[in-house]
Amino acid sequence: MTRDQPTILYMHGLNSSPLSQKASQLTAALSRLGLTASLQVPALHHHPRQAIAQLEKAIAELGRPLLVGSSLGGYYATHLAERYGLKALLINPAVTPHCRFDGYLGPQTNLYSGEVWELTEDHVTALAELEVPSPQDAERYQVWLQTGDETLDYRHAADFYRGCAVRIQAGGDHGFQGFSERLPALLAFAGFDPVLFADVDFSDL
């Protein structure tokens, strides 16, 4: 990978992992194109401070990657995009997650690894420390929302990212149905030459 080659850093959500459907589809797509070195999908620590440290390390390694964040990963991506002036593509992103954990403190289980961990007030405090205002440089953002998101109210994100390229699709769910079909748009936003994937069908991923 050369430094002028586009790169992507994918951030999964709370209690998720690189084995999640979207992360797996994106990994498979880059592999199909022979571009696996252009992507990092770290297994993020459950504590925000440690997760951000992981992501900052990945940014340093990748150069100026497109930040792709799902759910809580979208919150992380927004913070890092604002800090480093990077582009970000957000998928059903969490907005002010530190305000939404009432009744959820206590034991948590990662849906993929089975790791059991404790969600504490310190997690919530650390999330609050990452809060940034609504983005002003709208051209650096794409926000993909589905109204059928059963976990987050898509209207919160639509309001927070107003002025950005917000694409709202009726139906769907929190996992974002039809993600693989939108991979060409993601790759184009990252800066990859469309010739690389013009004839590639990602719908089977």
For residue 76, how far is the Cα from the chain centroid?
8
pLDDT value at residue 4: 77
pLDDT value at residue 104: 84
What is the Cα–Cα distance from 167 to 34, expressed in whole angstroms?
A: 29
pLDDT value at residue 1: 46
CB–CB of 48/105 below 8 Å?
no
pLDDT value at residue 3: 57
What is the Cα–Cα distance from 179 to 67, expressed in whole angstroms?
A: 16
Instruction: Provide the token pair at 137.
Output: 């440089």
CATH of 8-195, one of 3.40.50.1820, 3.30.457.10, 3.40.950.10, 3.90.1170.40: 3.40.50.1820
Residue 22 CB partners (closer than 8 Å, separation 6+):
10, 12, 70, 91, 175, 176, 179
pLDDT value at residue 176: 98
What is the Cα–Cα distance from 48 to 32, expressed in whole angstroms?
A: 32
Instruction: Provide the token pair at 57.
Output: 């390390």
- Cite the beta strand spans of 36-173 per DSSP E: 39-40, 66-70, 88-91, 106-109, 116-119, 141-146, 165-169
Amino acid identity of residue 154, one-letter, is Y
For residue 200, how far is the Cα from the chain centroid?
23
Task: Give the global pTM.
Answer: 0.96
Q: Residue ranges of the chain with pLDDT lower than 70?
A: 1-3
pLDDT value at residue 24: 98
Query: Which of these, 48, 39, 44, lies nearest to 68 by C-alpha position?
Result: 39
Query: Which of these, 148, 169, 160, 162, lies nearest to 74 by C-alpha position?
Result: 160
The rounded radius of gyration (Å) of the Cα atoms in the chain is 16
Write out pLDDT tens, residues 84-111: 999 999 999 999 999 988 778 999 999 9
pLDDT value at residue 100: 86
